[in-house]
Structure 1
């Protein structure tokens, strides 16, 4: 799953994704497809602009998080200078990848430095071994963990009252669904206070092909045939199809919890490009929230492809500048 190529259309999504579905319903994955990188918790010489460390969330579920801290935060001892908190959920179609892969490590490092912010990148359980809503459950559990954690990078440098949920691709879907749940847990999550959702190329679908899916049927990165397999492996069993609310966020007029998000005044950013087969789904979600008069902003550009920012850090940085503007504007609106 890398950049574009002039190869023939993808006909075997399992081969393309480098996965094998086993008779017991588990997946054999190629864990070497994208290299992993160790965290960088210490740098006495000060050459690393962003420090990072891994911390467990729920050992029984093997969930954990990688925390990113801009070095500049170490120079401030004032609680008034605490940084915004971004809780990040990685992509991978719910079935692949992990928070320690270099593409997510580098992107979260740049995000932490650019905003600047403390970033908590959540490593959640994967489907089909753990079908949805397991990833959503893990996403909410991460928020509860942050609320009570005595991890020094959180207690010392993160402003828990200035939190944003962010995700890319399937992670954008997770951020959205975790946000829907969290909107009903406002008092339970205090002092953690969510201010907004940042949905970068969020992964949604539906029972019928959208115009952009038909237009990009032979997309070399994420053609609909690949998305179909991801949904088949991640949606709940027992007859659930792609008209389920986990997949199609606009079904039946959208979740009633969107009204809670509206009442809380959260800001929402939906980011994408027209080279992504999913762009119509993303625009549908944007229009749904606009119709409910929510504080939602769309940021769509011409060209590009799904996951482009994961493999081009310069483009990720441009996107992170948009994220910075959203976070800063949310803070200004409260002053």
Structure 2
């Protein structure tokens, strides 16, 4: 998305057209995608490769491994990309660069799964795909995963819609019917998570003319991704209406919630963090001054402090 004047036509801003059959046509010319980099080089301290997850759904995953790792077992960060559940992909340059730098700076394996997009595949399709990606990792014979992933130290992370996805995949993984053993999830890292609600919150009112991700744009996201017939107070968009956080409290997972006060959704992010605390979840809050939605994705200069917070979070949450 480009930085423009306040948005009058959110569909034009998102470069999408809604079709009569309920699908959308996406103009992807502004989304630069990059291939994986499986060959190490002095300029490439992290290697990456693509693997298929479910051919019938065309879902796949990009794995990132710091170069030079021997037999060392590393924490595994499962990272879900953003895009309002209707746009973007794993191989989008900004997400690829973010995951690569994160793998290098934190010395972790990053697995970034794709998921089916709405409105062609409305929620909970993305959540189903998110869980299936974890099951694929659990059962995988991939050499990088077998040799280097520490299954006792797994973290679910996502940006924007990916943060919403990490939260909801976490809730599903906390359910006893989802058997992920030997994967042990230690925590959730919700980076500028995408949450909503029917009534405008204070930050949405204050930042109604935000030039990055204003409420008029998020309304379109929710309209296209939520199940037909529900509103924005559905539990998929508004976790404060459900009791899911109690599951996280019982498992004693830690949760890092990171956001910026230039994001219209920050009040919703704070409310979800407050709810989780109330339900007994140990929550680490990282809210920065002036940062817009997804700031660290689009501005590499802001990543270092975020990665320091994530490194500390992983260290304090990992199995001894």
Report TM bin, short chain. Answer: over 0.9
Could you tell me the TM-score, scaled by structure 2's length?
0.97
Q: For residues 330 and 228 of structure 1, what CA distance do their matches in structure 2 show?
A: 35
Q: In the alignment, what sits opposite 1:40?
A: 37
1:105-147 per-position Cα deviation (integer Å, ceiling 9, x unaligned) = 0000011011110000011000000000000000000000000
Structure 1, unaligned stretches of length 5 or more? none
2:19 to 2, 6, 22: 22
The alpha-carbon deviation at position 186 of structure 1 amounts to: 7.9
Q: In the alignment, what sits opposite 1:136?
A: 127
Contact 1:110/1:317, CA 8 A, preserved across alignment: no
Mapped pair 1:177 → 2:168? yes
Q: In the alignment, what sits opposite 1:233?
A: 224
SS of the aligned residue for 1:72 comes to coil
Q: For residues 247 and 239 of structure 2, what CA distance do their matches in structure 1 show?
A: 16
Moved over 3 A (4+): none
Q: In the alignment, what sits opposite 1:63?
A: 59
- Root-mean-square deviation over aligned CA pairs: 1.3
**Larger displacement relative to structure 2 (308-317 or 151-160):** 308-317
Aligned positions, number: 320
1:212-227 paired onto structure 2 within 5 Å: 212-227=203-218
**Larger displacement relative to structure 2 (52-61 or 183-192):** 183-192
1:296-307 paired onto structure 2 within 5 Å: 296-307=283-294
Tell me: CA distance 1:186–1:52, structure 2 relative to 1, closer, same or farther (3 Å). Answer: farther
The alpha-carbon deviation at position 30 of structure 1 amounts to: 1.3
Q: In the alignment, what sits opposite 1:294?
A: 281
Q: For residues 176 and 162 of structure 2, what CA distance do their matches in structure 1 show?
A: 20
Mapped pair 1:193 → 2:189? no
SS of the aligned residue for 1:276 comes to coil
Q: For residues 241 and 47 of structure 1, what CA distance do their matches in structure 2 show?
A: 48
Could you tell me the TM-score, scaled by structure 1's length?
0.93
Q: For residues 152 and 245 of structure 2, what CA distance do their matches in structure 1 show?
A: 21
SS of the aligned residue for 2:290 comes to coil
Q: In the alignment, what sits opposite 1:11?
A: 8
Mapped pair 1:319 → 2:306? yes
Structure 2, unaligned stretches of length 5 or more? none
Contact 1:166/1:199, CA 8 A, preserved across alignment: yes
Mapped pair 1:118 → 2:112? no
Contact 2:246/2:276, CA 8 A, preserved across alignment: no
1:263-315 per-position Cα deviation (integer Å, ceiling 9, x unaligned) = 22211000001000000000000100111121111100110101211111121
Q: In the alignment, what sits opposite 2:138?
A: 147
Contact 1:111/1:317, CA 8 A, preserved across alignment: no
Contact 2:258/2:285, CA 8 A, preserved across alignment: yes
